């Protein structure tokens, strides 16, 4: 990996990195915070939402003080492949910046949009090879990235000790963002969509015996709450499956990074406890 720039923050080191990805067939960018000391440290992977890059969480979430205190590496990858040769769409919710953390099977997306493989295979292996990790990790994210964190943890539970989300797209098969992205990336077979729907995965028992709790924070003033996010579907699925899920509805908070900055310390602590158990 090529180091693009480095900063010292809260006694640790933040690196912006770039590498050629075998999964996407493109260059990929990410940021990695490593606490002070020799380690090894557990890893917390953050997945961002629509239109974001590796920089949004890095500059806006304010997570590194808590990460330094708990001794946790935080990795924040970009949200999709990018480049002139990569398929795109004029809309903000499809194409570059909108990878949805799935492996696309449909043209023109299939050659490069392989974000599930990128995160669960290539990125994890790279971080473990290049940084002083304990080879244990957890995952969290926001909105589209909350969907990604939940579904990747549920689909690959052996890879992650815990999972949490801010304002996740809880059931992509039941909202406009998900229906648009899944029809483009995965085709019209809704059975394939269901394999990447957190609510349906939980209801089907994917979390059983894997996660002692799933933490979800949702702002009550979020403009996307009713039409796109639908956290009540997660609650219903967890109840049906007997899975513990803590949904915290936060009065007055919207969909922005001001919301995440207000509660990110809780999420880092939630994961640190489980990563070090």
Look-up: residue for tokens 């919301």?
259
What secondary structure letter does DSSP report for 233?
A: H
β-strand partners of 164? 140, 215
129-134 CB contacts, 8 Å cutoff, 24+ apart: 130/1, 131/32, 131/34, 131/39, 131/41, 131/43, 131/73, 132/34, 132/38, 132/39, 132/40, 132/41, 133/39, 133/40, 133/41, 133/42, 133/43, 133/73, 134/39, 134/40, 134/41, 134/42, 134/43, 134/275
Rg of the chain in Å (alpha carbons): 17
| Cα separation, 260 vs 97, whole angstroms | 19
Distance of CA 270 to the CA centre of its chain: 16
Tokens of 245: 């899920």
C-alpha distances in Å from residue 268, one per residue of 46, 72, 84, 146: 11, 8, 36, 15
- Locate the DSSP E strands across the chain: 2-9, 12-20, 27-34, 41-47, 73-77, 133-142, 163-166, 214-219, 245-250
Mind telling me the catalytic residues? 143, 222, 255
Cβ 48 vs Cβ 255: under 8 Å: no
């Amino acid at each position: 990996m090529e180091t693009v720039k480095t900063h010292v923050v809260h006694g640790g080191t933040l690196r912006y990195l770039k590498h050629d990805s075998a999964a996407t067939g493109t260059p990929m960018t990410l940021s990695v915070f490593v606490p002070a000391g020799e380690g090894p440290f557990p890893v917390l992977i953050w997945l961002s939402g629509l239109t974001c890059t590796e920089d949004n969480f890095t500059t806006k979430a304010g997570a590194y003080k808590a990460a330094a205190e708990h001794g946790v590496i935080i990795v924040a990858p970009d949200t999709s492949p990018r480049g002139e040769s990569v398929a795109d769409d004029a809309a903000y919710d499809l194409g570059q910046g909108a990878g949805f953390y799935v492996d696309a099977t449909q043209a023109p997306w299939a050659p490069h949009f392989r974000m599930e493989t990128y995160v669960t295979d290539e990125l994890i292996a790279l971080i473990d090879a290049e940084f002083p990790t304990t080879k244990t990790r957890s995952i969290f994210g926001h909105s589209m990235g909350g969907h990604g964190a939940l579904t990747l943890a549920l689909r690959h539970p052996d890879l992650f000790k815990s999972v949490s989300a801010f304002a996740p797209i809880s059931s992509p098969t039941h909202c406009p963002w998900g229906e648009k992205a899944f029809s483009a990336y995965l085709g019209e077979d809704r059975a394939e969509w269901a394999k990447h729907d957190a609510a349906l995965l939980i209801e089907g028992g994917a979390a059983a015996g894997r996660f002692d709790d799933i933490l979800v924070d949702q702002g009550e003033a979020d403009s996307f709450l009713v039409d796109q996010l639908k956290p009540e579907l997660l609650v219903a699925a967890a109840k049906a499956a007997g899975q513990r899920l803590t949904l915290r509805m936060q009065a007055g908070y919207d969909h922005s990074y001001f919301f995440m900055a207000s509660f990110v310390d809780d999420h880092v602590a939630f994961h640190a406890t489980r990563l070090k158990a």
